Structure 1
Amino acid sequence: MKPSIAIIGAGLAGLTLARDLSPHADVTLFEKARGLGGRMSTRRNDTHQWDHGAQFFTARSSAFKTLLTPFIADGTVVEWQPNITTLSPDKAPFKRPWFEPHYVAAPAMNRLLKAMATDLEVRLSTRVEKVEQQQDKWRLLDENAALLGEFDWVISSAPLPQTRALLPARLLGDTLARYSMLPCYSLLLAIDDADLPCWDAAQVNNAPIRWIACNHRLPGRNREAGAIVVHSTSDWATAHLEDDQEAVKQQLIESFCALSGVNAKAITQAQLHRWRYALSSDVAEPDAEFVLNASARLAACGDWCLGGRVEAAFTSAHQLAAVLLKQL
């Protein structure tokens, strides 16, 4: 009989883990959101869409390149070759070349995750509120204390704070303590393309903002519906995390307009998203790619283990899966 495994979180890490383990175990993914995504999620309304988390990803490891190969072949993943610049309040803009391929999923970042989830058992809109041990099984309960299932293994690919809250501290607490996460704000703007600068994306220095992208110019998007994604720096977000959110939005709009030269009157929609746990601090320790207590049959993985890049989520899960396959 195959072992049963519950994976909490259906972002890139959770889906990678499920794909690697499914041939050898009965795997169920639990995702509290209505759709797949995590930091690769997409926000939409009647007229626009914004990839308000990860804007792109690179592929540096052979394992990640292997995962992406069929998705590049079928058009799910496309190389992005933007006109990118560098902005700062006190210096002239200058062109910023990229020296390695950068990719996006099309027509939205979460499309890659939807493709990866094919043939996997994913329970959406299902919040795991408690993980408890009963005899030789792990029981998962929802917010109403209803039983979601009993499993041999439980693995969290959720963001670090949720992982800490769910998995028993007496079994993983000391190991999880070496990781940390930082916040970020995403400002989502609707602006007619004719009112935007010629560059497609900008790295920003010495400002509350660190990144600006004309999201609608990414491959596969609706170029007629001008959509801008603005990311704050983590330092600025930390300093203003509990400020009035309308005031935060206005400050970021003012900074965006000053940097880009866009007239504020050209903005037809503006939304703010607060990512409390967006960016991961580097962990300068050996064997930090994942967290595992094999005797307790508990584990955790995610981009927060390796610094926060999209590929880091894959690498953390893929390396954990390789170790787990020897345990099953």
Structure 2
Amino acid sequence: MKPSIAIIGAGLAGLTLARELNLHADITVFEKARGIGGRISTRRNEPHQWDHGAQFFTARTKPFQRLLAPLISSGIVAEWWPTIISLETGEMPVKRPWFEAHYVAVPGMNQLLKAMATDLNIQLNTRVVEVQRRRDKWQLLNEHAELLGEYDWVVSSAPLPQTRALLSAELPDEQFSHYRMLPCYALLLAVDDAVLPDWDAAKVNGTPIRWISLNHRLPGRNPQAGAVVVHSTPEWATAHLEGDQEEVKQQLMTAFCELSDVTPQSITKSQLHRWRYALSAEVTEPENEFVLDQQQCLAACGDWCVGGRVEAAFTSAFQLAKAIRKQLT
């Protein structure tokens, strides 16, 4: 009989781990949200859509390139070569060259995760709030103290603070002391493309904003439905994390209009999304690309283990899967 493994979180790390272990164990993925994706997310309000989490990804490692190759061939993943500039209030824009391929999923960023989720056992709308040891099994409980199942292994691919809270009773705190995550605000705007600048994306300096993407100009999007994604700096988000959300939205809209010369009257829709755990801080003293307690059959993975973004989530899970497979054979 195959061992049973519960994976908490259906983002890139969780789905990578599930795919890599699916032939070696009975896998169940638990996701608290109503859909998969984590921070590789797409929000829709027809005819507009916004990739309000990760905007793109690179592929610098062979394993990640192998994952992407069939998705590129089938058109699910496309290269993105935008006109990208540096922006700063009161300064002339400066064009920024990109020297490596950047990729997006089509028609939305979450399509990458949808393609990876095929044939996996994923339980959506299911929040795991407690993990406890009973005899020789791990029991998972939801917010109503209802039993979700018993498993030989438990792996959390949730953001660091959630993973830490869930496993803190079983894993020493020093296992997580090297890692840190930072917040970010995402401002989602509907704007007529005719009034938008001719660049596609901007790296911003010296303002509450760090990134602007004219999302509708990404490959496979509706070019007629002007959709702008604005990301704040993590420092500004930290300072305003518990602030009045309408005021936060207005401050970011004002900064965007000043940088882009778009008038507030040209914005027909606006939404704000608060990512409490958006970015992984650089890992200063990395020991592993994952957290693993072999004796207890407990583990954790995610981009926060590596200090990167999209590919880091894949790498953490891919390396953890190799380590777990050694324990299963």
Could you say which residue in structure 1 is the equivalent of 2:100? 100
Structure 2 equivalent of residue 138 of structure 1: 138
Distance (whole Å) between structure 2 residues aligned to residue 105 and residue 60 of structure 1: 17
Q: Deviations over 1:88-143 (max 9, x none)?
A: 01310011110000000000000010000001101111111111110110001111
Percent identity, please: 69
In 1, Cα distance between equivalents of 2:169 and 2:98? 42
Name 1:290's counterpart in structure 2.
Answer: 290
1:248 aligns with 2:248: yes
Q: Where does residue 222 of structure 1 map in the other structure?
A: 222
Q: In 1, are the aligned partners of 2:13 and 2:302 still within 8 Å (CA)?
A: yes
Ranges in structure 2 where 5+ consecutive residues have no aligned partner: none
Alignment of 1:84-233 (within 5 A): 84-233=84-233
The alpha-carbon deviation at position 170 of structure 1 amounts to 4.1
> What is the alpha-carbon distance in structure 1 between the residues aligned to residue 284 and residue 69 of structure 2?
31
What's the offset of the Cα at 1:177? 2.2
C-alpha separation between the residues in 2 aligned to 1:33 and 1:286?
30
Distance between the aligned counterparts of 2:242 and 2:286, measured in 1?
35
Counterpart code for 2:187: L
In the alignment, structure 1 residue 26 sits paired with structure 2 residue 30: no
Deviation, 1:217, is: 0.6
Q: Distance in 2 between matches of 1:169 and 1:306?
A: 23
Aligned residues: 328
Q: Distance in 1 between matches of 2:103 and 2:255?
A: 27
| Cα deviation, residue 195, structure 1 | 1.0
Q: 2:178·2:284 contact (CA, 8 Å) conserved in 1?
A: no
Q: Using the alignment, how far apart are the partners of 1:222 and 1:282 within structure 2?
A: 35
3-state SS in 2 of match to 1:131: strand
Aligned to 1:83: 83
User: Residue in 1 aligned with 2:321?
Assistant: 321
**Contact 2:2–2:24 (8 Å) recurs in 1:** yes
Q: Shift of residue 256 of structure 1?
A: 0.3
* Conserved? CA contact 2:289–2:306, under 8 Å: yes
* 2:265 partner SS: helix
The change in CA–CA distance for 1:20 and 1:107 in structure 2 (over 3 A counts) is: same
CA distance in 1, matches of 2:26, 2:44: 34
Alpha-carbon shift at residue 288 of structure 1 (Å): 3.0
Q: Conserved in 1, the CA contact under 8 Å of 2:286 and 2:306? A: no
| One-letter amino acid of the structure 1 residue matched with residue 182 of structure 2 | L
1:48-94 Cα distance to aligned partner (Å, 9 max, x none): 11100000000000111011001001000000011111100131001
Report if aligned partners of 2:178, 2:286 keep a CA contact under 8 Å in 1: no
Distance in 1 (CA, whole Å) between partners of 2:52 and 2:308 is 15
Q: Distance in 2 between matches of 1:168 and 1:152?
A: 18
Structure 1 gaps, min length 5: none
Deviations 1:158-178 (A, max 9, x none): 011110111143424220122
- Amino acid across the alignment from 2:5: I
| Secondary structure at 1:17 match in 2 | helix
Give distance in 2, aligned partners of 1:47 and 1:33.
23
**Contact 2:181/2:277 (8 A) holds in 1:** yes
Shift, 1:184, TM fit: 0.5
2:64 corresponds to 1:64: yes
Question: Cα RMSD over matched residues?
Answer: 0.9
